[in-house]
Each structure stands twice: as C-alpha cells, then as structure tokens.
Amino acid sequence: MRPFTDLHAKAAPLPMANLDTDQIIPKQFLKTVEREGLGKGLFYDLRFDAAGHPKPGFVLNDPRYAGAGILVAGDNFGCGSSREHAAWALEDFGIRCVIAPSFADIFYGNCFQNGLLPIALPEADVRVLMDEAKGGNHVFSVDLASQTVTAPSGRLFRFEIDPARKEKLLQGLDSIGETLQHAAEIDVFEMRQALGQPWLERA
C-alpha cells in the first residue's frame, strides 16, 4: 500500500449527499478481485449516459478537474453495501483523499486499508472548501502529519484522525503489512509450536 504523507492536487466538488457504494462503483464492475482497472467504473452511471458517452455536466468529466486527486463531497459518503471495490475504484482513478461532513463506517475503514485518506470536517467548513474547489484555482494541499487541509485561498482547516490509523497511513501499512512487521516473531512462534507439538505438523 502506498504511504500517504502529503498531497497537492486538484479538488473536485461533488455536492451530493448519501452517495452510496453502488453509485461509486456499480455492481457490474464487481466481477473482479483485481484492483487495477476499476477506475473506469468509478461513478459510471453519473459520468456516462446509456450509450456510454461522457455526461458534460458531471464534475469529473470537466477538463478543469482532469487528474483530480481530492473529492469534496456531501454528507454520509460511501453509505450502502460494504463493497471494498468502492475504495479500490477511487484509488485506481487517482483519488487519494475524500473530504466530507461524514462517512459510512465500513467505507471509512476500507479507505484506510487502501491508502485513501477520508477527512471528516464540519459541514460549514466543507461548504467553504466546496466553494473554493469551484473557483479558478482548484489545487488543495493535505498534510497528514499536521492534520491540515490548505485551500487555494490559504485558509487552513484542521481535521481529527485516529492516531493508530494515521500512523499506518503514513507508513503505508494495511492489515497484511502490519502483520508482516512481526514476521520474525511469528516464525519463532511457529518453530516453537512445531517442536512442542510436532503432531500438529503431521496432517
């Protein structure tokens, strides 16, 4: 998993509340367990019409937001089913941070397992950031170490994050990576188990 330290990227305003995981990555894209390539399905029904043509009114189809790495979204982002593909699709598309007033719990946890930073801020602050993202300069700065978001105007917004999750993001550790940090101790334990209970190894 890629570490998340700081990010300087365009922020795309997506003022929609209750964006669920089926809207983030529709069900027809869930046939794979591969993370690569899911970006093409991100917000598919919002980005494309029935004929597969890009909808000009959707923010991620706007050339001004090409390559956006941050989404500024509405309340309850990521609600609905628990599909981890939603986080995979965002990351594969190039989104590394989502700022919203609140997130669905499972989606929020999935973000940390996939190198995305979900930032919850008061609704009034999100409205300010939304307005700034709609302006002429769309580049925001997110610093995880200092837990700050800097808007194009220079306004600074501080966010809270669980210290353990913060440290894992800074180091680029998902659950597997965290476990592998203890590989030597695991090897010693398995060796002791094999010596002390050899019958367990005979299966």
Q: What is the pLDDT of residues 52-105, one digit of tens each?
A: 999 999 999 999 999 999 999 999 999 998 899 999 999 999 999 999 999 999
- For 78, the enclosing helix (H) or strand (E) is none
73 in Cβ contact with 98 (< 8 Å): yes
- For 148, the enclosing helix (H) or strand (E) is strand 148-150
Distance, in Å, from the CA atom of 130 to the CA atom of 150, rounded to the nearest integer, reads: 13
CA atoms in the 13 A half-sphere facing the CB of 135: 14
pLDDT in tens, 108-164: 999 999 999 999 999 999 999 999 999 888 999 999 999 999 999 999 999 999 999
Three-state secondary-structure class, residue 140: strand
Amino acid (1-letter code) at residue 12: A
Three-state secondary-structure class, residue 119: strand
Walk me through the domains of the chain, giving residue ranges and CATH numbers.
Answer: 6-172 (3.20.19.10), 173-203 (no CATH)
pTM: 0.86
